[in-house]
Every structure is written in structure tokens, then in C-alpha cells.
Structure 1
Amino acid sequence: MTTEQTRAYNWYVKDHKTAKWIASELKRTEKTIGNWIKKFGWKTQRDARVNSTNAQKERINEILGEYADQTLHCIKQRKDIKKKLDKAIESKNEKLIKKYRDQIGGLNTEMRSIDDGASKWRKQLTELDKDNKVSLATYLEVMDDLFENLREFDEKLYRDTIDFQSKHLQTVSLKFG
């Protein structure tokens, strides 16, 4: 790929820019960029990255973060209302006591709902990890194929990376063990 194509690749695949935007930046036609996208399989790569396990985990973790924020907000509200309830109890104001107890009950219900939603997302995250776990045998097969292709592409580069290859496979094997 040319330098221009590499820039287009990065914008399209990694930064999710449109062919129209890339064409404008590179002073090329949209048709040319579209041809590159087809020729080099960039759309498939972009889709795979968007739907990768890590991308899905990232999105689920964002959702879980929102649930955590909502829970903290409810806890703060409940504390504030509890203080008001204590004052209402001290002053024996039955109307306010009922009002504050009802509000606390509503917040407790909301927090159970939030917790239920978060629990379902945590379960999905666990399932995602379980469903997308790669075996060491499969990983080693892919790496052997990659290293063999590197040898065919550039024997010197292959030899220069033998220490890296060995260290990488050792590190990965320990992770799987």
C-alpha cells in the first residue's frame, strides 16, 4: 500500500471516517477510495473491529459505569431524604414521615431495578468472555502461520524477530497455563 492508502486505511478502519471524508482529505474521488475499500477488504476489517470482543466489552463496561453512576445518585438522594426523615420523626410530623418513607421506598425500588439491569449486563460480559476464549492450540496455530508468512515475505526480518517470537509464545503460554 502507498502512504496515501495507509492514511486512508487508518482513517477508514480505525477512525471510522467515511469514504467521502477521506476523499476530501486526500483530494481523491470518492470512487477511488471506494475501490481501495473493496480491493483491500477494509470494510470487513472495520466491521470486525467494531464487533470485536474488546469493543463489545468496552461498550458493556460503559453501560455498567452508567448503572454505577445511577446507583450512587440514588444512594446520595436516599441519604438526604433519610436526614429529612429523622427530623420529621423528631418533630413527630406524620405527614412528612410518610412522604419521606415513600420516597425512600421509591428509591429502593429504583435501585433494585438498576441492580437487576447491571446484573444482566455483567452476565452478558461473563458470557462474552466464555464464548470468545481462544484455545492455546488455536493461538499457536495462528502464530505459526503468521511467522511462516513472515519468513516467506522477508527471511531476514523473520530471523531478526526469532527472539521476539520465542518470548511472545512463552508469555502467551504462561497466560494460558
Structure 2
Amino acid sequence: MSKKGIKRKNAVAQKKKQLPAAEYDKLKYAAYQYIVMQGLTQKQTAELLGVTEVTMSAWAKDNGWRDQRQARQATTETDVTNTKQIIRLLSAERLELETQIRGAQTIGDAPAELEYRKKARVVSDEISKHNKVLQSLEKESRYTLGELINVMDDVFKALREYDEELFMKIIPFQEYYVRKRTIDLG
């Protein structure tokens, strides 16, 4: 093991010694929530929780938080949102070009009008391509009622094995949710 790796393990071990195990686990879980779930940086999280950046880095590296964070962010929903934003920006650019075309027509500047029209065609083409991507993403993100029920069955089976009492308490919710999604998905 390298000197850096030994130092990191020692820093983590030192922090463990200073806190009771339950407190240490709570701190680590809070760090996970901030970094993976909420998207804060390791530095921000270290400052928030009062731990060293070395410790935070060790936790993130040892538990694969970077990959988990990227996986959470790389969803179809995010892709759809980003694509819609790009389309909005391109549409605003296209409208601006249309204003410039009208201005060039008004003053009789044919070369400028031609140049603006060329740019407008390129932007329109980009909008068209992004709309096609958006349609594909939206189609990809749809799921069937059967797929939803299969996932719910897996989750609730695991919940039942984990906590039978909690499972029994949420049966009305399960029924409500399946009815609601049946109506939504047909």
C-alpha cells in the first residue's frame, strides 16, 4: 500500500476512534446523502459535517460514491430536461435571427438577409434534430403497467422480508398506488 493510502486509512481510523460507532455511521450516511443524493462536492460536505477532506475523499472512494452519483444523474428524465433546455435556447436564437432577417429586409440589406437566413436554417436544423432526440428519449422513458407491478412486487417482497410490520401497514398504500397507476398507464 502506498504512503498516501496508509495516511488515508489512518485518518479514517482516527476519526472512528473519536466518535462512537453509531455517530460515525450517521456522519458517513449524512455525507453520502449530501454527495450522492443532493450533489454537493466533497469539499462542501466536509465543511458542512466538520470532517477532513481526506476523510471525505476516503469515504467517497471506498464506497464508490462518484459512480453512484453519476448513475443517479444520468437518467432519462435528466436527459429529457437537458434536451428541452437546449431546444428552448435554440428557439430563442432562431427568433433572434428572424428579427435580424426582418431588420435586414427593412433596410434593404440583401447580403445580410441572406447570411441571417443561412444561420437560421442551421439553427432550425439543430432544433429539428434535438426534437427527434427528445421524442426518442420520451418514448424510451415510458414503462408499462406490468413492468411497474413487477418492480413493486420486488420492492415490497424485500420490504416484507426486512420488516413484516411495516409491510402490513403500507398494504393500503400499495393498493392505492396500483389503482392510480392503472388509471394513468391504462
Q: TM-score, length-normalised on structure 1? A: 0.78
1:66 Cα deviation (Å)? Answer: 1.0
What is the Cα deviation at residue 122 of structure 1? 1.1
Gap regions ≥5 residues in structure 1:
86-99
Residue 53 of structure 1 deviates from its aligned partner by 0.4
Aligned-pair Cα RMSD in Å = 2.3
In the other structure, the counterpart of 2:148 is 139
Of the three residues 123, 133, 137, the one matched with 1:124 is 133
Hey, what does 1:53 align to over in structure 2?
76
Check conservation: 1:49, 1:55, Cα contact below 8 A: no
SS of equivalent residue, structure 2 residue 143 = coil
SS in structure 2 opposite 1:134? coil
Question: Among 84, 102, 112, which residue is 2:107 paired with?
Answer: 84
Q: 1:152 pairs with 153, 161, 173, which one? A: 161
Task: Give me the whole-angstrom Cα distance separating, in 1, the residues matched to 2:79 and 2:99.
Answer: 31
The partner residue of 2:122 within 113, 117, 128 is 113
Structure 2 CA distance for partners of 1:69 and 1:126, relative to 1, 3 Å: same
Give the alignment partner of residue 66 of structure 2, picking from 43, 48, 60. 43
Bigger shift: 54-63 or 15-24? 15-24
Distance 1:170 1:31 in 2: 49
Q: Is the 8 A contact 2:77 2:141 kept in 1?
A: no
Q: Distance in 1 between matches of 2:35 and 2:43?
A: 10
Q: 2:181 matched to which residue of 1?
A: 172
1:162 Cα deviation from its structure 2 partner:
1.6
Once residues 115 and 150 of structure 2 are traced to their aligned partners in structure 1, the CA distance between those partners, rounded to angstroms, is: 56
The one-letter code of the counterpart of 1:28 is V
Deviations 1:47-102 (A, max 9, x none): 112110011111111111110110111122222233323xxxxxxxxxxxxxx122
Question: Which residue among 49, 55, 61 is the counterpart of 1:26?
Answer: 49
CA distance in 2, matches of 1:112, 1:62: 20
Give yes or no for contact 1:4–1:26 (8 Å, CA) kept in 2: yes
Which residue number in structure 2 is paired with residue 62 of structure 1? 85
Q: Could you say if the C-alpha distance between residues 40 and 165 of structure 1 is closer, same or farther in structure 2, counting changes exceeding 3 Å?
A: farther
Amino acid at match of 2:85: E
Q: Normalised by the size of structure 2, how large is the TM-score?
A: 0.75
